[in-house]
């Protein structure tokens, strides 16, 4: 479903993100269904909404489909406004199943880590990849770290929190690394 898609602002095939999220889930003790859901976690949101969710349910079962559904912030096309989706997503974290929280947390860990890594390469240009810019992106990741702390603190939560702290500590006018 993500065959020709690339990570925002990069030449990295999107599959790298999906495999990384699945690896984090497996390393954290996730089940086979949870790992499959990690591979599919963006499919409904980015590749077809409810009809795609029905295909996932038919092919991989109800458990996988439920995890995937819980990981997205909308099945509606066109998507509602960014802030509205993110606030609703944040409000729902504590009510997700343990498996859905694991996939979602692994997704956010990889995304935040990618932002930090990319910042080392391109500096503040990394924030141009996001429709909402630096401040809103940092607000969201801090809110995510805070929301994931409550249900089940884990090494993945600590990794997210540490990464968000590193992002927050970046100077707003950092320069491009030339080495």
Catalytic residue numbers, as ranges:
45-46
Strand partners, 13: 6
67 CB burial (10 A radius; 0-12, 13-18, 19+): buried
Dihedral-angle region of residue 50 (phi above 0 means left; psi in -120 to 50 means alpha; beta otherwise):
alpha
Give the contacts of 23 (CB within 8 A, at least 6 positions apart). Answer: none
Q: Residue 11 corresponds to which tokens in the numbers above?
A: 């030449």
> Which residue in this structure is represented by tokens 């930090």?
116
To 10 degrees, the CA torsion angle through 94, 97, 99, 103?
-40
DSSP tag of 94: G
Q: How far apart are CA 137 and CA 140, in angstroms?
A: 5
Q: Do 30 and 39 meet the contact criterion of CB atoms below 8 Å apart?
A: no
Give me Rg for the CA atoms of the chain: 16
């Amino acid at each position: 479903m993500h065959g020709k898609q690339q990570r925002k602002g990069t030449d990295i095939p999107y599959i790298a993100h999906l495999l990384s999220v699945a690896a984090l889930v497996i390393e954290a003790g996730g089940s086979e269904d949870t790992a499959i859901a990690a591979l599919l976690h963006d499919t409904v949101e980015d590749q077809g909404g409810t009809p795609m969710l029905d295909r996932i349910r038919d092919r991989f079962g109800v458990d996988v489909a439920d995890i995937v559904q819980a990981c997205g912030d909308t099945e509606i096309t066109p998507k509602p406004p960014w802030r509205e989706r993110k606030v609703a997503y944040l409000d729902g974290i504590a009510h997700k199943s343990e498996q859905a929280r694991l996939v979602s947390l692994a997704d956010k860990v990889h995304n935040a880590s990618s932002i930090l890594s990319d910042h080392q390469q391109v500096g503040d240009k990394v924030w141009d990849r996001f429709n909402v810019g630096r401040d809103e992106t940092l607000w969201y990741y801090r809110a995510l770290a805070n929301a994931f702390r409550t249900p089940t603190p884990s090494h993945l939560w600590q990794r997210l929190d540490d990464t968000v702290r590193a992002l927050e500590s970046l100077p707003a006018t950092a320069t491009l690394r030339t080495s």
